[in-house]
Structure 1
Amino acid sequence: MSVGAWEPQVGGQQEENHREFDRDQLQRLISAALSDNALSGALEEEDLNSSQLIRLPAQQWLEESQHWNNEQLWQLIRFFTIAEMELPGWDAGAESAVIPLAKVLRKRKAPLQREQLLWLRQHSNNRYLPYGPL
């Protein structure tokens, strides 16, 4: 009788979790964050039903962030922060896209400023924002 170790197939799961970003959609999310309206009124139905975006793996957000400037990243952070509070199904906890986006800004030597950190505290009850779990 032989005893072996079963190794799960990781490649298929990684491909399944990897999602291509729709940059037009991300631009709509940025516009919604800039709007004075509630998010539910500023978004298309397709965007409202895209709650999986906030929980995509951090590595995907780190890669995608290369296509956006610092101000656009801040607006995405604002969008995801507000979405987590206002939109059903958008809660993300420690998996929030805000965490890798804030990390990118730190790496770019443009960390969130005091006013931005205070804004996050005022508009979120997610204890992991903006830096993730300790």
Structure 2
Amino acid sequence: MSVGAWDPTQSDNSAAFDIDPAILEKFIALGSAEPINNLNTQISAEDKAQQAPLMRQPKDTWIATAESLTNDQIVHLVRFFTLAEMQISGWEAGAESPVIGLVKALRLRKAPPSKELLMWIKEHSDNRFLPNGAL
């Protein structure tokens, strides 16, 4: 995990942030790669700065966003955001991680994440809240 610079406007922006479907498609594609390469080099500095508020969106926002996605697309986003939090400075999310809302969306669909995916999340993250959130 890396430490980034604090941006005082970042927390203010996350509440009014609109999730761009085009950027989600890009992140889905990155999350579907096998293996997923270093995300830090695959995302532009501009996208890193502009999309950082994605990491702080409420769980309900991610559940609603997932309604328009397939189960596979949600899994790819889970993989992407798990690694993004570890690899991209300023994208640390803790208990607010998008992974938590996306995993919840899968469970609400009666399509819970596979044991393999849950183990993969644990192996690739040091966020103690993943994949289920705070107790």
- TM-score bracket, normalised by the shorter chain, equals 0.7 to 0.9
| Backbone CA RMSD of aligned residues | 1.7
TM superposition outliers: structure 1 runs of 4+ over 6 Å: none
CA radius of gyration, larger in: 1
- Which protein has greater RCO, CA pairs closer than 8 Å, 6+ apart? 2
Question: 1:32 aligns to what?
Answer: 30
Unmatched tracts of structure 1, length 5 or more:
1-15
Residues 100-115 of structure 1 aligned to structure 2 (within 5 Å): 100-115=101-116
Q: Distance in 2 between matches of 1:47 and 1:122?
A: 26
How many correspondences in the alignment? 120
Question: Could you tell me the TM-score, scaled by structure 1's length?
Answer: 0.83
Normalising by structure 2, report the TM-score. Answer: 0.82
Equivalent residue number for residue 74 of structure 1: 75
Q: Which runs of 5+ in 2 are unaligned?
A: 1-13
Instruction: Work out the CA distance in 2 between the residues paired with 1:90 and 1:46.
Output: 13
* Contact 1:65–1:73 (8 Å) recurs in 2: yes
User: Could you tell me which residue of structure 2 aligns to residue 13 of structure 1?
Assistant: none
Point out the more displaced range, 48-57 or 22-31. Answer: 48-57
Distance in 1 separating the partners of 2:21 and 2:44: 15
Question: Which residue number in structure 1 is paired with residue 8 of structure 2?
Answer: none
